[in-house]
Structure 1
Amino acid sequence: MSSPLKILVIRFSSLGDVIYTTPVVRCLKQQLPGAEVHFITKPQFKYIYEDNPYLDKLLLLKEKLNDTIAEIKAQNYDCIIDLHSNLRTSIIKLRTGIKSYTYNKQTIRKWLSLKLRKQLVPPVHLVDRYLKAVVPLGIVNDNKPIDYFVKNNYDIATLLPATHHNGYIGFIIGAAHFTKRMPNEKIISICRQLNRPIVLLGGNDVKGNGSMIAAAVGPNVYNACGVTSLDESVFLVSKAESIIGFDTGLTHIAEAFNKPIASIWGSTVPELLGVQPYKVDNVLISGVNLSCRPCSKYGLAQCPLHHFKCMNDINEKEIVDFCNG
């Protein structure tokens, strides 16, 4: 009988990519008897795995790669699961000499898909592509959603006004890049048509946007952007009746709670990245079919053609009907 494995899973960034590794960690822990599963990521993404019951140890990428390599060597891992597959992870695998299993990133095909605006990458979800890397270990997909564990059990009454205590729609208005965000005027128009209270969610970078939207719509909208912590925001997502969100980390985290999600896509497309909502029962994917879309893989600071039709022409009615239904 073979001894239990000690495994290191690697994914340094970004938020969405890290959250989609959670089914791999869960399956490794549950399907390999006695396995000790560790994970390494950048410090800013450590909250994704804090309190995760399927993880035995969380390592954080150090400023100097040599220090990270030394720490990995000291752990005496049986194997590495490389879910990042870049130059840095290649150096780690080479320098440690540990047996490894690597995710096929399909970088060239993705680049050609973007440049030619053709779907040259099979529309397989990122989770399923990650799981292919661990098939040699006998791992099979358990067909469950991604994992996120809220750190505290917060009180809705302390986070939201009384008008929002009996149910609300979470509207995630933030995103890292301008071309992933819907213009304020469009958000205002949608909020005015929704028949439930709305909580706006996002960071400090969209706090001003949230204030403008709330002022235009009225007390039916509460602006929690830059007011709640990330963990509090995730808690509010977990308690929402439904979620509206763009291609951003908090929208992806919402998938862990199997809430109805209206997933809105501007300059990016889910098929290219394989990051459409995963194992969510009720989903609306909203995007506009344009010859100029996608214009980038991760989003841009402005629309290259200056018309921003990918967001301006989004069908408001289908989003409103989805949430009001």
Structure 2
Amino acid sequence: MKILVIRFSSMGDIIYTTPVVRCLKKQLPCAEVHFITKPAFKYIYDNNPYLDKLLLLKPKLSDTIADIKAEGYDHIIDLHNNLRTTIIKLRTRIPSSTYNKQTILKWLSLKLRKNLVPPVHLVDRYLQTVKFLGVANDGAPIDYYIKKEYQLADLLPATHQNSYTAFVIGATHFTKRMPNQKIISICKDITGQVVLLGGDDVKANGDEIALSLGEKVYNACGKTTLDESVFLVSQAKSIAGFDTGLTHIAEAFDRPIVSIWGGTVPDLLGVQPYMVKQSLVAGIDLDCRPCSKFGLEKCPLGHFKCMWDIPEKPITDFINS
């Protein structure tokens, strides 16, 4: 049996497909399991022992369809369910099982500010697509395989190499990020050292936070590659972060995690921390929340209470416990 699993984007959504690939391979050991995604996200499946082959989406969809036809798949597991995957399924005529996005329920939840989506994690929603093959959830965390053997001494100053909290301060959209002043206030009450993680886009934010707190905080934003950042979260004593890919990847290492949510909510997307023994989801109930499914460039009402008003003590108590 030859199976193709499809998910083109984004980082967080793809990382939650890894249990599907693992369960397929382990529970159907004779099956050949392939995965296709955008080239920008191939790193998520690098070194994954449960995947037989990784295909990459090409600029021309017709070329991708030709590649898929040439492989001779028995089944397509469509975990994206968009126009492109629909065209692929129609053009290849390969038997398929498709992830139910629950688009209407999510839209109504957003418009009515009511959680109408059943509280089922995205991993379990994905796994429904392979139930017909007799494949079930194995109860293990997501998978991420660090590409190299790194040393803390090469990535962090000596003051931060023994024990630290990793704080992921980056996120794609403004309404997913906590204001610098709020992060500074939380970091002040964290026992021990703090390492800030994120890309070049939040390097200046990290500089401002580190400047306010001195040697307690090391700003690694923009200084480490994604793989190095994943290594740093894997070695942290605890992790805090927003609704962003690196925070979700951190779940692969079963460290205590504080998942902080602003304008978006985890229940709508089904992406609360998965199979993590110790976790805290931080957020507050507001009439205006959630304001979007994936985040916005500014608070629609201008007050940004969803982040400013999050209680800090439960976060720092969890990290310091």
TM above 0.5:
yes
Q: TM-score, normalised by structure 1?
A: 0.98
**Deviation digits for residues 103-147 of structure 1, max 9, x if unmatched?**
111111111111111111101000000000000000011010000
Structure 1 letter corresponding to 2:114: K
CA drift at 1:87:
1.0
1:248 paired residue number: 244
Q: SS at 1:198's partner residue?
A: strand
1:185 aligns with 2:181: yes
Query: Structure 1 stretches (4+) deviating beyond 3 angstroms?
Result: none
CA distance in 2, matches of 1:27, 1:107: 26
CA drift at 1:206:
0.2
1:105 aligns with 2:65: no
RMSD of aligned residue pairs (Cα, Å): 0.5
1:216 aligns with 2:217: no
1:136 aligns with 2:145: no
1:282 paired residue number: 278
Structure 2 letter corresponding to 1:172: V
CA distance in 2, matches of 1:187, 1:33: 47
Structure 2, unaligned runs of 5 or more: none
CA distance in 2, matches of 1:229, 1:14: 18
1:115 paired residue number: 111
Matches within 5 A, 1:279-318: 279-318=275-314
Structure 1 letter corresponding to 2:281: I
CA distance in 2, matches of 1:68, 1:230: 27
State which of 65, 81, 92 in structure 2 corresponds to 1:69. Answer: 65
Structure 1 letter corresponding to 2:249: I
Structure 1 letter corresponding to 2:201: D
Residue-pair matches, total? 321
CA distance in 2, matches of 1:185, 1:275: 27
CA distance in 1, matches of 2:159, 2:173: 32
State which of 33, 37, 43 in structure 2 corresponds to 1:37. Answer: 33
CA distance in 1, matches of 2:33, 2:247: 27
1:160 aligns with 2:162: no
CA distance in 2, matches of 1:33, 1:174: 39
CA drift at 1:63:
0.5
CA drift at 1:33:
2.4
State which of 258, 272, 282 in structure 1 corresponds to 2:268. Answer: 272
**Deviation digits for residues 170-200 of structure 1, max 9, x if unmatched?**
0000000000000000001111111110000
CA drift at 1:25:
0.0
Structure 1 letter corresponding to 2:205: N
Q: SS at 1:218's partner residue?
A: helix
CA distance in 2, matches of 1:191, 1:118: 33
CA distance in 2, matches of 1:110, 1:45: 25
Q: SS at 2:24's partner residue?
A: helix
1:237 aligns with 2:233: yes
CA drift at 1:324:
0.8
Identity over the aligned pairs, expressed in percent? 73
**Deviation digits for residues 252-300 of structure 1, max 9, x if unmatched?**
0000001100110000000000000000000111001100000000000
Structure 1, unaligned runs of 5 or more: none
CA drift at 1:165:
1.1
Q: SS at 1:109's partner residue?
A: helix
Structure 1 letter corresponding to 2:300: P
Structure 1 letter corresponding to 2:105: R
2:223 paired residue number: 227
State which of 85, 91, 98 in structure 2 corresponds to 1:95. Answer: 91
CA distance in 2, matches of 1:17, 1:166: 32
1:257 paired residue number: 253
Structure 2 letter corresponding to 1:37: V
CA distance in 2, matches of 1:33, 1:44: 29
State which of 144, 165, 170 in structure 2 corresponds to 1:148. Answer: 144
